[in-house]
Amino acid sequence: MDTKKIDISTSIKKIKLSSCIMNASGALCSTEQELNKLLKSSSGAIITKSCTSSPRKGNMNPRYFFCKKYGSINSMGLPNLGIDFYLDFFEKKKTKKPIFLSISGLSKEENFFLLRKANLSSKISAVELNLSCPNILGKDKKNNMINIGYDSYKLSYFLKEVFKLYEKPLGLKLPPYFNEIHIKNIAFTLNKYPIYFVTCINSIPNGIFINSTNESVVISPKKGFGGIGGKMIKPFALANIRLFYLYLRKEISIIGCGGITNGKDIFDHVLCGASAVQVGTQFIEEGLTIFDRLEKEFISILDKKNYLSINNFKGNLKKNLI
Ligand code: DHB
């Protein structure tokens, strides 16, 4: 009988997760009921829906569509219950799980406001600041955060301001980049700041799914255009994780997000350099039992490979065929 103990715990600097698998922001983490269920699940941490300073209803329905073969498209438009709801919710809870608060102010000033509030909470382990919400409609376009994730000069100036007023652990949810030089430039900027982690990648913006029977788009907002997630985006997530792993200071952890549906996907994310992973589309489709299934599948792969912890192979992707 094999008695070896495989440990899939991880840490994001000083934040300890008993499992490296957690939900992605936006996936079943908006309401009191959803967050209570996540608290009871075997996810290694919880992240909230990206919140704003006041509650928002979001875009018109249908605004999410899933297709098993490829993944999902969404144009939710940041429906959330407002930061006070999320802070109050966790203030009342006792849990050992790290709690990540996702924030997505529509302007720099709104993000400063949200960060000041998060600073005062003792229950939030870290803020994941969303630099890349792709689904805001024209009427919300006082937005001066648009494309900040794609502009290292603006980003640097913004982060300088952020660290003047925010002292707790901070991570950034990054958009996908499609050229190595872009990642090199962004990493060069991020390396100057005391960032805890980056999450790679947010949904790939400006996709379109088509129903060829109806000859129409499948979601209503923005003429059917939306952010793409799920299976289809895994290669882009892996490339972003890999390049950030190579270019970021080693003290900045990477949380992988994009296209995880099974244990092998988690293995691939960690091999590229992820210290933890987030599951979005597949969590929405499968529900809370996904965490147990993924954990089992991931452990079984490590077992076959004789790895006892993620540190045995994290970031060790070979660059040549063997
Ligand atoms: C939404 C979508 C995103 O990809 C994101 O990062 C934040 C919010 C949304 O439409 O609600």
* Planar angle of CA 14, 203, 200, nearest 5 degrees: 30
**Beta bridge mates, 207:** 226
At 144, is the pLDDT very low, low, confident or very high (cuts 50, 70, 90)?
confident
Residue 138 has pLDDT above 80, yes or no: no
Residue 135 near ligand 1, beta carbon < 6 Å: yes
Between the CA of 56 and the centroid of ligand 1 the distance, in Å, is 12
In the chain, where the domains are located: 3-58+78-206+231-312
Pocket lining: 203 vs ligand 1, CB cutoff 6 Å = yes
Q: What is the DSSP letter of 147?
A: T
Q: 3-58+78-206+231-312 is classed in which CATH architecture?
A: Alpha-Beta Barrel (3.20)
Please give the positions annotated as active site.
133
pLDDT (tens digit per residue) in 162-202: 999 999 999 999 999 999 999 999 999 999 999 999 999 99
The residues facing 11 across adjacent strands are 16
Residue 2 pLDDT class (50, 70, 90 cuts)? low
Yes or no: say if 275 and 217 are a contact pair by the CB < 8 Å rule.
no
Q: Which atom of ligand 1 is nearest to the CA of 226?
A: 10
**pLDDT tens-place string over residues 286-302:** 999 999 999 999 999 99
Dist. CA 134 → ligand 1 center (Å): 6
pTM: 0.97
What's the pLDDT score for residue 141?
Answer: 54
Query: Cβ(254)–Cβ(273) under 8 Å?
Result: yes
Rounded to an integer, the average pLDDT of 60-65 is 98
Of 289, 226, 294, nearest to 259 by C-alpha is: 294
